[in-house]
């Protein structure tokens, strides 16, 4: 039982990372399934559109799923348009944009995984390029062979071991080696683009992490403490919110059915809920670790000033 509790605790602790990792795993499994079961290049004038749809539309779906499943996304943008009627266009707009960019980068992991795997396999790219109507590409791969230009849209469906493919090639004065050379060139080019995409994404990720760490207002140990504090604070807020909701519901239901006056109930005001739910920029104000910390310290100072003025 303790083992399962530990697993559940770790799952809650790293739920965001696990969520995006699950999306990336889903992208990898889906790409393999689509390539072997669903995907089949039509080998006609629809090659370009068909291949492009299978390459980009699933990536777009995974990208939108990343937004939908992001807890931080909804924490930052829920009710932000009701804040003084500015629809997030206030002094916190930079913080909102920064949070949005972080969620965007995280959500892009799964679709980039899909595109990279598809390019490394080469089948989607072969179908897309064979449907191009650009003379430059046809001349590049066919090297001015007239028969090649005619057979290029059917290239993804040609098999070197098929008798029908052999007869078709002979009528166009082409050999199996010509077709295999074109196919290998297309797949090599697709894999080059795929590896370039992977390298570019990793480089961008490393540069972003380095820039974020270099611009941190605190050193490594304090930053680690801040991250740990935020995680534990969020866990306790979720727990206390659930307990408060249960107690409040129990108090109201009991009062309704027993027809009695409800007992006084202490809970945060709407303004306080709004303040602790709003975005907080730790870099701009490193004296406080969160909005709750800032709110509590502010109330403590205010109460102290009131007591001092009353004493005087």
Instruction: Write down the domain spans for the chain.
Output: 2-214, 220-311
Residue range 130-145: mean pLDDT, rounded: 71
Q: What is the pLDDT of residue 279?
A: 67
Q: Are 113 and 29 in contact (CB under 8 A)?
A: no
And the tokens for 61? Answer: 């779906």
Global pTM? Answer: 0.70
Residue 201 to residues 117, 194, 211, Cα–Cα distance (Å): 14, 11, 15
Least confident of 9-18, 194-203, 241-250, 281-290: 9-18
What is the mean predicted confidence (pLDDT) over 31-52?
82
How confident is the model at residue 164, as a pLDDT?
52
d(CA 248, CA 263) in angstroms, rounded, equals 10
The span from the CA of 18 to the CA of 300, in Å, is 38
Nearest CA to 61 out of 107, 8, 116, 92 is that of: 107
pLDDT more than 70, % of the chain:
68
DSSP state letter for 81:
G
Q: Longest C-alpha distance within the chain, in Å?
A: 106
Mean pLDDT of 259-273: 87
The vertex-131 CA angle with 126 and 136, nearest 5°, equals 95
Token couple for 175 = 């050999």
CB distance 125 to 197 below 8 Å: no
Q: Does 311 have pLDDT greater than 90?
A: no
Say which residue, 115 or 1, is predicted with more confidence.
Answer: 115
pLDDT value, residue 23? 65
Higher pLDDT, residue 301 or 271:
271
Q: How confident is the model at residue 143 (pLDDT cuts 50, 70, 90)?
A: low
Q: Torsion-angle region of residue 44: left (phi > 0), alpha (psi -120 to 50) or beta?
A: beta
The residue among 152, 157, 160, 158 whose CA lies nearest residue 130 is 152
Distance between CA 80 and CA 87 in Å, rounded? 6
């Amino acid at each position: 039982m303790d083992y399962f509790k530990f697993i559940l605790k770790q799952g809650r602790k790293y739920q965001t990372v696990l969520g995006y990792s699950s999306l990336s795993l889903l992208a990898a499994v889906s790409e393999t399934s689509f390539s072997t079961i669903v995907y089949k290049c039509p080998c006609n004038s629809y090659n370009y559109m068909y291949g492009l749809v299978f390459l980009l539309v699933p990536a777009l779906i995974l990208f939108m799923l990343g937004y939908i499943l992001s807890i931080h996304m909804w924490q930052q943008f829920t009710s932000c348009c009701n804040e003084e009627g500015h629809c997030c266009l206030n002094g916190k707009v930079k913080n909102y944009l920064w949070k949005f960019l972080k969620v965007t980068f995280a959500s892009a992991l799964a679709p980039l995984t899909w595109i990279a795997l598809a390019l490394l396999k080469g089948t989607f790219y072969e179908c897309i390029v064979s449907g191009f109507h650009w003379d430059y590409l046809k001349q590049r791969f066919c090297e001015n062979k007239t028969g090649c230009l005619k057979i290029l849209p059917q290239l993804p469906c040609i098999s070197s071991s098929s008798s029908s493919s052999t007869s078709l090639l002979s009528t166009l004065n082409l050999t199996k080696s010509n077709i295999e050379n074109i196919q290998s060139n297309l797949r090599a080019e697709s894999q080059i683009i795929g590896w370039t995409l992977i390298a570019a994404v990793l480089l961008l990720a490393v540069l972003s992490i380095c820039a974020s760490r270099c611009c941190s207002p605190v050193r490594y140990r304090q930053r680690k403490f801040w991250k740990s504090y935020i995680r534990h604070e969020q866990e306790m807020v979720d727990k206390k919110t659930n307990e408060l909701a249960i107690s409040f519901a129990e108090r109201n239901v009991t009062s309704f059915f027993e027809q009695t006056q409800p007992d006084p109930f202490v809970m945060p005001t709407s303004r306080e809920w709004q303040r602790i739910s709003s975005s907080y920029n730790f870099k701009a104000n490193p004296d406080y670790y969160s909005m709750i910390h800032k709110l509590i310290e502010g109330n403590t100072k205010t109460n102290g000033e009131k007591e001092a003025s009353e004493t005087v």
